[in-house]
Chain A
Amino acid sequence: MKVTFRLNTARDGDLIKWLQALPGDPGMSYVIRQALRQHIHTGGTGFLFRDDVGQGQTQGQTAAVEAVQLPQGKASAAAKPEPEEVNEKKLEQALAGWTGA
């Protein structure tokens, strides 16, 4: 099963709600949602590919997503920073907040 769609967060609002509202198989929505979440968390650059999408838990179907494009501006805004890239100095400062008296 192939799914191709284009996200427009300005139009559709919250990504997750938009995905949950997709017509059809809820397991499908779950699979895409997981892939998107992973994609966003790892600071993806705007495209999702077939291999980015894994096995769905709820329905057991594999969703082949063929290049889901995130809108450029929104993609960068939505992308959470990859934790490993977060400023170590900032982390040390946060730790110092706990270790200080």
Chain B
Amino acid sequence: MFIRKGEPGPTIRAVDVGFGRVKALSEDRQLEFPSVVSSFRPVRYSTGINQADPVERLCCEYAGRKYFIGDIVFKQADAMVTMNAERFTRPEGLALMFSALALLSGADSETLNLATGLPVSDFAGKKDVYRQALLGRHYIKLVNPDGSGERVFNLHVADCRILPQPMGTVFDRVLNDAGELVNKRLAAGNVGVLDIGQNTVDLVRVDGLEFVDGQSDSFSDLGLFDAYGLLYREIKDIYNVEIPPARMEKYLQNNFIEVDGYRQNIAGIKQRVFAAHAERIVSRALNLWRDAWQLNSIIVTGGGAAILGDYISRQLNRPGQVELVDRDRATLSNANGYLKLARRVWQR
């Protein structure tokens, strides 16, 4: 589509459907919620708490089925389905995507252009199928947890770009907000991206913005939740209490747990487990990037980078190469990159 100068461009959206969280951006809004889905059943009684935040009580009907989506799954569902590679093109994966797009939508009917991503290991094999699944008209109904208050959205995806997910971080760093190439040095360089998600770690190698497929991969046993799983076992062994990985974060922030009324410091266990996990990640990365010394930069990003980034930097021990994405940007860096690329594609 050709845009004349001064004319508003088409509506663009950037959505990063991770295995842990969905992150979605429009020009003026951002939202994120856990990538979990379950079958819907009306909630008979609600206290009204959190009613102001639609993301916290997200329920939808998509392709003839009703779902709880995101945070509400943890409170109301008996069983849940987490995101995995097979689910991107299935109704539950698309329900996650279009719930996010509906929440970002300013109107009941909207035509939009979408930039999104796939895990590295699925990119080559699934990008065309995924693109076809996303393009076209989609109807999604957002409902209240008690089943009332339906609002139907008619979303038309007119065009779509799909990237290997960590490429979003590369574009976030080489493009400015208008989608112009500003960091030419990084763009021209030989760059490795270590994207630490909640359930997976994606590694991408890029040379002069060319994706190096043979040195890019995804690992489903190295994510942040795997580190939490190790912590769970350590804490259970020592204190005989069970803290599910999904609820681990607040204890880690405080560095203590309360057992039988006594505070127990878990900082030492945390450091030991995280250092060991970081070593596993780095070992896998260096196995994939045998000539890592040739990389101009190794960018450590993703939601897990905020927790494990410092440990990984220490393990890599390459201070001249490692760039740790700021904590407050790491979770959204792929989605930010998609949005910048979208502006370059559709708004220049």
B-side residues, CB < 8 A to A, are 159, 161, 163, 167, 171, 181, 184-190, 208-210, 293-294, 296, 317, 319-320, 341, 344-345
What are the 4 A-B residue pairs with the smallest beta carbon separation, nearest first? A86-B188, A83-B188, A94-B209, A83-B185
* A33, A37, A38, A58 pick with most chain B CB within 10 angstroms: A37
| 11 contacting pairs across A/B (C-beta < 8 A) | A81-B188, A83-B188, A84-B184, A86-B184, A91-B184, A91-B188, A94-B208, A95-B181, A95-B209, A98-B209, A99-B344
A16 and B293 form a contact (CB under 8 A): yes
Question: Closest CB of chain A to B136's CB: distance in Å?
Answer: 15
A98 and B167 form a contact (CB under 8 A): yes
Contacts of A92 in B (CB 8 A): 181
Contacts of A38 in B (CB 8 A): 320
Contacts of B294 in A (CB 8 A): 80
Question: Closest CB of chain B to A87's CB: distance in Å?
Answer: 8
Q: A37-B293, A41-B296 are in contact. Are A84 and B208 (CB under 8 A)?
A: no
Contacts of B317 in A (CB 8 A): 57-58
Chain A: interface size category: 20 to 34
B159 and A86 form a contact (CB under 8 A): no
Determine the main DSSP class of A at the interface with B: helix
Q: A83-B184, A86-B208 are in contact. Are A98 and B296 (CB under 8 A)?
A: no
Contacting residue for B185 out of A16, A37, A84, CB 8 A: A84
Contacts of A84 in B (CB 8 A): 184-185, 188
Chain B proximity mask over A87-101: 1 for CB below 8 Å, otherwise 0: 010111011011101
A101 and B159 form a contact (CB under 8 A): yes
Question: Closest CB of chain A to B281's CB: distance in Å?
Answer: 20
Contacts of A91 in B (CB 8 A): 181, 184, 187-188, 208-209
Is A69's beta carbon under 8 Å from chain B? no
Closest to A85 in B: B188
Contacts of A83 in B (CB 8 A): 184-189, 296
B293 and A80 form a contact (CB under 8 A): no
Question: In the complex, A37→B296 CA distance in Å?
Answer: 9
Which A residues, 71 to 88, have Cβ-Cβ distances below 8 Å to chain B?
Answer: 80-81, 83-84, 86, 88
Contacts of B188 in A (CB 8 A): 81, 83-84, 86, 91
Is A34's beta carbon under 8 Å from chain B? yes
Chain B proximity mask over A22-46: 1 for CB below 8 Å, otherwise 0: 0000000000011001100100000
Question: In the complex, A81→B188 CA distance in Å?
Answer: 9
Contacts of A57 in B (CB 8 A): 317, 319
